[in-house]
Amino acid sequence: MIKKIVVINSKGGCGKTTLSTNLASYYAAHGYPTALLDYDPQDSATRWLSQRPESLAGIYGVAAAHPPEENVTRSFQLRVPPGTQRLILDTPASLKRMELIEILRDAWAIIVPILPSTIDSCVTSDFLKDLGKEIRMHTTDASIAIVANRVRRNTRAFQTLMKFLEDKDMPPVTCLRDSQNYVQASAEGMGIHDMKATLTRVDREHWQSLIDWLEAEPLNSDTEPFDTGTHRSIA
Ligand SMILES: Nc1ncnc2c1ncn2[C@@H]1O[C@H](COP(=O)(O)OP(=O)(O)OP(=O)(O)O)[C@@H](O)[C@H]1O
Ligand SMILES: [Mg+2]
């Protein structure tokens, strides 16, 4: 079964590309035929893919932010190899409504990274309201995972973020620590799951919660759409 996973937030620099590339490399490394669709005109995910060592599990890339070549339809441009099981979409901070509709169509899950900062919380809160409207309007079945990113647990900023998410009834599915492992992996076309397990043990544990959430079966068919939290909810 193909699962389309969208990583999105209108706040710049919150970790969309980091989450997208790490998710893609996780799935590829675990034997899922995986495609990475880069909707950001800055081409960060495409660049990451071009640096990926050939010795690592392959990921099919689509530079989806750019219009198709002459005589090529948009749907042909966006095609992925038959048998693809995981489709990861990296998105830019700013999207036109039509682009958002295309991105959300048939999504299985939507991941919203958020940084521990007041500005990021406010922008993300507004973004989630707009996203909720769009999801209801287009009756997609996708559910949303909030991921706290670049977390340093012993800081007031982190506690403030957790309180903010608690008040909104949006507990994060996981909290990824602030770590140079992500910076290093990103520079080398890798994800943390491609790095030495001893070096990335803590990060892998954080990721497992997100993977468990993504791979969980729907609880039941009666749950509300546009739920967030630690379980999947499918309309
Ligand atoms: N958990 C982390 N630990 C350390 N550095 C991180 C982490 N997550 C992201 N970064 C770094 O933060 C910066 C911004 O991350 P990233 O490019 O993934 O954000 P983005 O949301 O895709 O940004 P944009 O909106 O510009 O596309 C990058 O330099 C990245 O390496
Ligand atoms: Mg990005």
Q: What is the pTM of this model?
A: 0.92
Residue owning the nearest CA to atom 14 of ligand 1: 13
pLDDT tens string 115-172? 999 999 999 999 999 888 888 887 677 889 999 999 999 999 999 999 999 999 999 9
Mean pLDDT of the region 64-71: 94
Class of domain 3-215: alpha beta
CB burial class (10 A; 0-12, 13-18, 19+) of residue 111?
buried
| Strand-pair partners of 145 | 111
What's the CA gap between 110 and 26, in Å, rounded?
17
What's the CA gap between 137 and 127, in Å, rounded?
15
Residue owning the nearest CA to atom 27 of ligand 1: 92
pLDDT tens string 165-186? 999 999 999 999 999 999 999 9
Question: Would you tell me how many other CB atoms lie within 10 Å of the CB of residue 201?
Answer: 10
The domain spans of the chain are 3-215
Nearest-atom index, ligand 1, CA of 40: 27
Q: Verify whether ligand 1 is closer than 6 Å to residue 183 (CB atom).
A: yes
Residue type, 15: G
96, 97, 153, 93: which is closest to 124 by C-alpha?
A: 93
**Terminal C-alpha separation, the chain:** 18
55, 86, 72, 96: which is closest to 189 by C-alpha?
A: 55
Give the β-pairing of 34-38 and 60-62: parallel
pLDDT tens string 75-98? 999 999 999 999 999 999 999 988
Here the tokens at position 115 are 């940084």
110, 111, 89, 84: which is closest to 1 by C-alpha?
A: 84
